[in-house]
Each structure stands twice: as C-alpha cells, then as structure tokens.
Structure 1
Amino acid sequence: MALWRIRATVDDRPGYLSVLTASLALRSVNILAVQVHTTEGGAVDDFLVDAPDTMSEFELLTAIARGRGREAFVTRAEAQGLADQPTRALALAGRLVHDPDALGEALVALLDAAEVRWRPAGTVVLHGYDEQHMTLIDPAGGTYEVMRPAPAFTPAEYARAQALVEVSSAALRRGADQVTLLLPDGSELLVREAAGDDLEGVRRLHADSPSESRLRRLVEPGTGVTLLATAGERVVAMASLRTEGDLGEASLLVDHEWQRRGIGTALLRRLSAWADRADLEAVVAHVGADNVAMLRTLRRLGVTGPGERDGGLLSLTLPIRSRQVATTETPATSG
C-alpha cells in the first residue's frame, strides 16, 4: 500500500462527500484522515489515503472525478503525514514558543509550502491570500510571502497561518518584556510576565497558600497582566494588574527577605507602563494604611490625595496619563 494526499472540491450539499468516499472505497483506497475546508466554491476535502501499490495518479484522479470531485490535486505523502493537522499545528506552535524566530520554517511545514520569502518593513505588500500566494505580517517587522503552486490556499489554512503568527508574536512580546533588574547591592533579578508553569513558584511566595483557582487567576488574570521578579528559579516578588474596561486594579507582593530593596517600585513602574500601552485611564492600588514603604512608593509614582479608607485599607488611584515615572530600570532603594 502507498500513502497519497488528495484534495478535491465537491458541492457543499448533503451526501456529496459520501459519493466521493464511496468512489475511492470501490478502488480499495483506505481513507486515513479527512478535513473539510468550507469555501465559496464548495467544500474542499483534504484526504490522507492508503492506496494499493499498483494504483497510479491517473487512476486516483479518475476515481475522484467519478465521485463528483473537481479541481483535484494528488501527490504522494510521507509517513509523517499520518499526524493530523491539529497535531501538526500544535507541535509547530510549541516550537515557536521556544523559538519565535522559526516562524518562516513553521509556515513551510504547516502549509506544505514550496517557498517562503521574507520582505522588509516598508515594502508595499498587502496581507491576505489568493490561490497560490499568502502574505502575513511578521510580528518582528516585515512580511512573509508564502507560495504554493497547488493546491489552492483555503480560508481555513489562512486562519491557521495567522494563528501561528500570533503565537510567534506573543513569544516575541514576552521575550521583549524580560529585563534584568540591578539592585543597589549588586544583586540581579529577572523581571518578566508570568506564565502557567509559574504556579508552584508563586504558591511558595504566598504564605496563606491560596486555592488552586485563585492561584491561577493571580498568575494568568483573564484581563490584565502579572509580572514576576525571579532570582534564579525562585519567585521573589509579583505584581498583578487586573483590568475592567479602562480601569485597572494593582496588587503587589514581595518576599520578606527581599523587601526594601526597590523591587516593588520597579514592578509597579512596569505595571504603569503596561497600563499606559493598554490605554487605561487609571490604576487603583489597595494598600494597608500602615504600609509606609508601599505608600511612599505609590506617592513617588504619581499618587496624590488621601485616597479612600476602608478600615485598615487604603485605595489609592494612579492617573496613568499624568504620572511621572523615572525612565531608568535601576530602582530606588525603597519599596
């Protein structure tokens, strides 16, 4: 038996796919996988099949035509084609998380493309696709042009390619947001956005052992961002910004061994910058009324007025657009 990849268009009407599969079955063609791409011209059916060794390309094309398939494309397939398309896409996304610069190679693998060309920023190339060309905006700058003589690109393939670009873009943004923080005593911390695999590190930072659901909301808020400061593998501080509409709510926690070393100041400055990019109007921080160091930090970041008091808790608002934030990454000695 031999592996083949078949693509053909049939009318998007009940029963038409079964006619095509029956025609293949009559010739002992075993269908191993099938995907259906909906287009304006009909349903594009993409098959991975196992056919008798004696069957030729012409015989396959004839079987497709007798099954009411049109615009047929047939080519030999390799064993790796046995992996279904979602599995391939997930594997490529996983690769891009660790190596976002491999986007070009990932697009070739995802789309079985003949060639991928990169064009620098400033080149007039509109993103979109036609039968043989697909153009995608490179998150690092420029444009990728993907070429495949046959079969014609489909809307589903374009959507998959755009999703892969988004994965690469997110990985690049995360890498760009990582900075090394130099403390006054010469110690260095890595400040970065939190991710799902930081759950255990954040759990150790909290003395009150939060529930699993609350821990996940802290690490990956539904809307907003959580920043971590790490010393090696250890999480020593975290700052979270949860957003609702154009307002944000900030919280900060620093390990007691690392307090009063400027880490809180540095994290809150980065949260303020994130809020500015997100076009938030203001950020509210809830602070203990006796937390002098934290209150001093918030005043330095632009908080004015007494705030609103609820028992021993103060709610202070930082207007994003009118704040004055130092531009250096080296923090002050308090916070």
Structure 2
Amino acid sequence: MALWRIRATVDDRPGYLSVLTASLALKSVNILAVQVHTTEAGAVDDFLVDAPDALTEADLLAAIARGRGRDAFVARAEAEGLADQPTRALALAGRLVHDPDALGEALVALLDASEARWRPDPLPGRPGYDDSRMTLADPAGGSYEVLRPRPSFTPAEYARARALVEVAGTMVRNHQEQATLLLPDGAEITLRTAVEDDLDGVRALHERASSASLHSRYLGGGAPGDTRLRRLLEPAGGRTLVAIDSGGKVVAMASLLAEGDLGELAVLVEDGWQRRGLGTALARRLVAWAGKGRFAALVAHTGADNVAMLRTLRRLGAGESERDGAMVSVTLPITGREPAKDQAAVS
C-alpha cells in the first residue's frame, strides 16, 4: 500500500462527497484523513489515502473524475502526513513560541508549500493570496511570499497562515517588549508588558503592599478587585508594565490608561523595592511609549505627601501641577503635541 494526497473540488450539494469516496473505494483506496475547504467554486476535499501499490496517479485521477471530482491534484505523500491538520498547526505554533524567527519554515510546513521567500520590504499592498501565491506581513519586519504551484490555495489555508503569523507576531512583540533592568544596587529585574495571566502575581503584589503604598496609588480607594485588575493589566488604548524579580514575583506595576489623547500614569512598587529606581524606570518607559502614539499629554494623580512619586515626575519632565486638598495632579506634556481643548482628564 502507498500513501497519496488527493485534492478535488465537488459541488457543495448533499451526496456529492459520498459519490467521490465511493469511486475511490471501488479502487480499494482507504481514506485515512479528510478536510473540507469551502470555496466559491464548491467544496474542495483534501484526502490522505492509502492505495494499493499497483495504482498509479492516472488511475487515481480517473477514479476522481468518475466520482464527479474536478480540478484534481494527486501526489505521493509521506508518513508525516498522517498527523491531522489541527495537530500539525498546534505543533508549528508551539515551535514559534520558542523560535518566532522560524515563521518561514513553519509556513512551508503548514501549507505544504514549495518555498517561502522573505523580503526586507513591507508588503506593497494588503496581504492576500491567489491560486499559487500567498503574501503575508512578517511581524519582525518585511514580508513573506509563499509559493505552491499546485494545488491552489484555499480561504481556509489562508486563515490558518494568518493565525500562525499572529502567533509569531505575539512572540516577537513579547521579546521586543521585555528587558532586563540592572538596578543601582546590583539587583536584576525583568520588565515587560503585562498580560492577563499576570492577574495572580499582580493580586499578590497588592496583598503584600502596605496600606500607605495602596493609599498613594489609589488615593485612598483601597486595593482593587479582580475585575478592575484585569482592566488594568490590558487597558484599552493604553499599556501596563510589570516588573518581575529573579524569583518570578511581580514586585511593581505601572499603568497608562487612555481617554482620548490624554493618558493617566500610575505606579505601584512593593515597599521593599521602593527608592531603588524601579518606579522611575517603569514610568520612563511608559512616557516613551506614549510619545510614539497619539497622546498629547499624560497626567498623574498622587498624594501631596508622596515625595518619591513627585520626584519621579519631575525627572520625567513634569509641567503644570494642580493641588486639590491632599491630591496633586501633575501634567507631563508629550513633545510636539498639545492636549485637546476641553478634554477631561482620566479619573
């Protein structure tokens, strides 16, 4: 027996797939796996089959034609093809988690393509595909041109390729946004963008923080619950950074919340890590990130007695400040931008 890959288009009507499979069965062809791709031309059926050694490509093409299949493609397959498509896609996604630079090789494996050509220039237009060519943006920069003479690419395959690119893009962004910070006292801290999975670590940070630290961060509001913490971890239009010590604990976090073209900056540092430059490092990164986007200015609300935070804001170029009782609101202008008139500050 020999393994073959068969792809053919049939009318997307009840019973037509069974006609094709019956025609193959008459030739003692055993179907090991099947995928169905819906297209405008009909249902594209992709089979991995085990056929008698005596059967040739011409025999299989004839059986497909008798089974009302059209636009047929037949090729010998390897044993690796026995892994179903979801298993293959998950394995390739797992590879990209550890090596996002392997995107080109992963696309070739996912699509059974002949090659994936990387180009340093971005795509001249939108990503897309035709029968034998698929173009995709490389999250690390540049673009990929994936080639496969036959069979024609399908919408389902394009969707899978886009999903794989998104996995690689997420890992590239995570790698780019993670940095190791060496504090003046020699301690090493990892700084990175917060994700939903940081909820437990951030909750533990709040539980360890003193009431004075929580009062300074939340202006007397107390530690937030899980619902608000989730919003702080991945704020819409903003960004949150976390600081991780060598033991994997979250020891500080800094958030930039957005409302229009204004942002609110807030920092919480565990008591034992305060006055070591960690809060300043987190805030400086958020200010730099805000300068690359649409923000006209940032505002920070803090207690008038929070000397450490006020000192940090001055280092970052604090502009105007307003005092309202025990609270001070400090504005950090973004170079080259002016805040929109009558725009309310984030509360």
TM category (shorter chain) comes to: 0.7 to 0.9
Query: Is the Cα–Cα contact under 8 Å of residues 269 and 278 in structure 2 kept in the other structure?
Result: yes
1:322-333 mapped onto 2 (5 Å cutoff): none
Partner of 1:59, secondary structure, is helix
Q: Which residue of 213, 231, 254 corresponds with 2:245?
A: 231
State the secondary structure of the residue aligned to 1:189.
Answer: strand
**Percent of aligned pairs with the same residue?**
70
Query: Aligned partners of 2:30 and 2:67: how far apart in 1?
Result: 15
Do the aligned residues in 2 keep the contact of 1:119 with 1:144 (CA within 8 Å)? yes
Residue 201 of structure 1 corresponds to 201
Contact preservation (8 Å) 2:243, 2:253? yes
In structure 1, how many angstroms separate the alpha carbons of the residues matched to 2:336 and 2:312? Answer: 16
Question: Are 1:105 and 2:120 counterparts?
Answer: no
Confirm or deny that 1:285 pairs with 2:300. yes
Letter in 2 for 1:224: G
Quote the Cα distance in structure 2 between the aligned partners of 1:54 and 1:306: 86
Kindly indicate whether residue 205 of structure 2 is the aligned counterpart of residue 190 of structure 1. no
Counterpart CA distance in 1 for 2:87 and 2:256 is 34
Aligned to 2:283: 268
Query: Are 2:128 and 2:135, in contact at CA under 8 Å, matched by a contact in 1?
Result: yes
| Change in 2 beyond 3 A, CA 1:20/1:223 | farther
Match of residue 259, structure 1, among 268, 274, 277: 274
Corresponding residue SS for 1:207: helix
Unaligned ranges ≥5, structure 1: 324-335
For structure 2, the residue ranges without an aligned partner over 5 or more in a row are 209-222, 338-347
Moved more, 150-159 or 32-41: 32-41
Q: Secondary structure at the match of 1:290?
A: coil
Number of equivalent positions: 322
Following the alignment from structure 2 to structure 1, what is the Cα–Cα distance between the partners of residues 138 and 168? 9
> How far off its partner does 1:295 sit?
2.7
Deviation (angstroms), 1:297:
2.1
**How high is the TM-score relative to the length of structure 2?**
0.78
1:136-161 CA-to-partner distances (Å, cap 9, x unmatched) read 33333333232222211223322322
> Any residues of structure 2 matched to 1:128-167 within 5 Å, and which?
128-167=128-167
1:173 aligns with 2:187: no
Distance 1:6 1:313, change over 3 A: farther
1:327 aligned residue: none
> What secondary structure sits across from 2:294 in the alignment?
coil
Q: 2:255 aligns with which of 219, 224, 240?
A: 240
AA aligned to 2:78 is E
Pick closer, same or farther for the CA change 1:126–1:256 going to 2, 3 Å.
Answer: closer
Deviations 1:196-230 (A, max 9, x none): 55444333322178655555444444553221222
Q: Choose 19-28 or 248-257, whichever is displaced more.
A: 19-28
Instruction: Identify the residue that residue 296 of structure 1 maps to in structure 2.
Output: 311
CA RMSD of aligned residues (A): 3.3
TM-score, structure 1 normalization = 0.80
Counterpart residue type for residue 297 of structure 1: T
Alpha-carbon distance between aligned partners in 2 of 1:305 and 1:126, rounded to the nearest angstrom = 44
Contact 2:9/2:45 (8 A) holds in 1: yes
Instruction: Could you list the structure 1 runs, at least 4 aligned residues long, displaced by more than 6 angstroms after superposition.
Output: 122-126
Residue of structure 1 in register with 2:344 after alignment: none
